[in-house]
Chain A
Amino acid sequence: MNGNLKDIAIAEIIQLNCLDRKTAKLQAESPKGQVEIYFKDGEIVHAKLGELTGEEVIYQVLDWKEGSFSLENEASTTKNSVNRSWSGLLLEGARRIDESNTGTDSEKKEQLNGSEGNKMTQKFDEILAGLADEVTGYIASALVGIDGINLAVNEKMKLDLDLINSQMTMLLKLVKNSTEKIGAGALEDNLLTTENAFILMRFLPGNQFFLILSAERKSGNLGNMRLLSKMYTERLMKAMPRA
């Protein structure tokens, strides 16, 4: 299988291969170099870019936007330079890309650290506490960056929100990508219904952060959740630092 990186990003190719638990070799070529990434049963086992091997190769190629790629199924290697899970690699890669995009903005850095940052975090906490009081069957909520890292959380019971929200970030990204590809228009929200819970995710304007809200399946009210999520994303957006 061959293609162009203008049509599909390396992160997407990695995700699709890993979700399908493939064993394959991805070769991509861009003005920045030539990379080989080996998959075994849906995990990345080896990556090589020039003299560089290992996880760093993945982080360096994730933002390649031009070039060509080829995918050879069942190609394998005996080398094992990557030990991190594919989802962890993509999350870390996304975080590094976000950091490099905002890293030159020293005002934003100051706002996120120090007293300004503390005030902002406190404001987020207050907003989420207000949301908790209004949602029927409330379980938890959080303001999450597109890198899967929580900015603020509020939970009614002890949960592993780092794990849950990083996983839900992957789902939201996949949904966003899918809806864009099929021409369905801008994504507003995604509601996952499971046996035990409703989990609603809604982007803040700019699509760099999203609100995640969960309620009990038995007592939750979907209309209530969707309405409140709209209201509270606006409030969270107002509390964000201005660029």
Chain B
Amino acid sequence: MTKLEQIIYKFRGELGGDFISTDIVGMDGMSIAGGSIDPDFDANEISARFAEVMKLAKRISEKVEIGSVDDNLVTTEKTYIISRFLEDPSYFWVVVATSEATLGTLRILMNEYAPQLSEAIPNEISQASKPAGDEKTNEQKPAEAQPKEKKSRRINFWADKQIEQENGDNPDADHKNAFMFP
């Protein structure tokens, strides 16, 4: 498990039963880490769609001069969806939680984990994930410089849950504790 995945797992554990999905997403709409616990929520689709939302929010904030975007919180009848830029603004972090979640706690947790996630993003991915509009960077980047980390295994939270149910076993203590809300 990469450092990024470890942090995501820890975050998921702290959020507990309200967790649905989370992803670290490049502005090209591709997730570099994360996953969904609910098969009805396609993490890839969330990543791609909310990359568009964040791109548009960024453009609007520049056009109307309201300062740089920190985050966007969407409240629906079923969920909270928070997308926030990380320290490197070519990435954002999207979290989907149930509407039962305590929003204040969720925001505090994200504030706590965001710097850790920023630090854990491998440097060599940064250039590859820059959006299409960043032409200078794209011209300098050789075509073959696709970092291996971008293709690394994504955490499939749903698969984890299925394995637990099929085996009917008790996961190891650390794994179990990760999903218990403190």
By a beta-carbon cutoff of 8 Å, the part of chain A in contact with chain B is 16, 19-21, 160, 163-164, 167-168, 170-171, 174-175, 178-179, 181-197, 199, 217
8 closest cross-chain pairs (CB), A and B: A195-B67, A196-B67, A185-B78, A185-B77, A178-B49, A194-B67, A191-B73, A185-B76
Bound together, the chains give a CA A179 to CA B67 distance in angstroms of 25
Q: Chain B binding site: helix, strand, loop or mixed by DSSP?
A: mixed
Identify B60's interface contact among A21, A168, A190, CB under 8 A.
A168
A189 pairs with B42, CB closer than 8 A: no
A217 pairs with B67, CB closer than 8 A: yes
Identify B74's interface contact among A190, A193, A199, CB under 8 A.
A190
By a beta-carbon cutoff of 8 Å, the part of chain B in contact with chain A is 40-42, 45-46, 49-50, 52-53, 55-57, 60-61, 63-64, 66-79, 81, 96, 132-133
Known: A168-B60, A170-B56, A171-B57. A184 touches B81 (CB 8 A): yes
Bound together, the chains give a CA A141 to CA B50 distance in angstroms of 25
B74 pairs with A179, CB closer than 8 A: yes
Q: How far is the CB of B15 from chain A (nearest CB, A)?
A: 17
Contacts of A189 in B (CB 8 A): 74-75
Q: Which of A179, A185, A199 has the most CB of B within 10 A?
A: A179
Q: How many A-B residue pairs have CB under 8 A?
A: 99
Q: Chain A binding site: helix, strand, loop or mixed by DSSP?
A: mixed
B66 pairs with A199, CB closer than 8 A: yes
Contacts of A181 in B (CB 8 A): 45, 49
Contacts of A187 in B (CB 8 A): 74-76
Bound together, the chains give a CA A19 to CA B73 distance in angstroms of 21
Known: A184-B79, A184-B81. A193 touches B49 (CB 8 A): no
Contacts of B69 in A (CB 8 A): 192-194
Contacts of A20 in B (CB 8 A): 132
A195 pairs with B50, CB closer than 8 A: no
Identify A185's interface contact among B42, B50, B79, CB under 8 A.
B79
- Smallest CB gap from A15: residue in B: B52
